[in-house]
Amino acid sequence: MTDVQLGDIVVLAAGEDWPEHLFRVDYVFDDCVGGYSLTGPLEGEYGEPDFDLILSVQSREGADQ
């Protein structure tokens, strides 16, 4: 998923060492995003997950909720 924007809250796929969780996008790079986990055991931790781990965009910054 490459249409991710700064401030988006995305759902990241579960991995071997973590469950599916929410992640706030603070940076968009060529091959991944950077930001912080909002839920799960990695809550508050910085990471740079690849685009292929993004399952969906949960919300967009500034979008009507």
Helix, strand, or coil here: 19?
A: coil
pTM to 2 decimal places: 0.88
| Per-position DSSP letters for 31-62, written without gaps between them | SBEEEEE-SSTTTT-EE--BGGGEEEEEE-TT
What is the band of 3 on the pLDDT scale with cuts at 50, 70, 90? confident
Helix, strand, or coil here: 12?
A: strand
Judge whether 37 and 16 are in contact, CB under 8 Å.
no
Q: What is the pLDDT of residues 10-48, one digit of tens each?
A: 999 999 989 999 999 999 999 999 999 999 999 999 999
Q: Cα(62)–Cα(11) distance, rounded to whole angstroms?
A: 18
